[in-house]
Structure 1
């Protein structure tokens, strides 16, 4: 289980390494373009959700527990990017199969 850190370690959320790798691509693409957006995360333990306002001036970090980068599913990245571009902002969507 990796972690997404927003500004500092006190503002962090556990995220599966595979999902985190895909989220990283979407978040970094949006921030590189200077496009602020909302990012909603849910606890993997079902104990709530958190919303983060993503802006290029706010420090973020991605901590991966595993040492190997996961294989990227480009269809999943596209689905996540569609979510990030929506009025609701970036939300974790299921990984497309196939």
Structure 2
């Protein structure tokens, strides 16, 4: 399980390590290009019903924390899917099975 820390938010976002590794590549690429976009997910079971969206911008602090010490092997197709999604007006929607809740 990985954790995404965003800005000064009091809540961290728990994401499957493999999904977070793929997201990290896309997010870093977009932000390095000074491109902003949204990242959305549906709330996990045990949380209030609904969904959340954050606006990713190069000026907002962001930290990726992984449970596994070694980086996983990345799937170029998955990276491309996230990148294509990031380029739409809806931004990236993390699939339900990749979200583990909020800390």
1:1-98 aligned at under 5 Å gives the runs 1-8=1-8, 10-45=10-45, 47=47, 48-93=50-95
Helix, strand or coil: the match of 1:40?
A: strand
Counterpart contact for 2:5–2:63, Cα < 8 Å: yes
Aligned length: 94
Q: Which runs of 5 or more residues in structure 1 are unaligned?
A: none
Q: Which runs of 5 or more residues in structure 2 are unaligned?
A: 97-103
Helix, strand or coil: the match of 1:82?
A: helix
1:34-68 per-position Cα deviation (integer Å, ceiling 9, x unaligned): 00111112344473422101100000000001112
Deviation, structure 1 residue 92: 2.1
Moved over 6 A (4+): none
Deviation, structure 1 residue 90: 1.1
Q: What is the aligned-residue RMSD (CA, Å)?
A: 1.8
Counterpart contact for 1:79–1:93, Cα < 8 Å: no
TM-score (norm 2): 0.82
Counterpart contact for 2:39–2:94, Cα < 8 Å: no
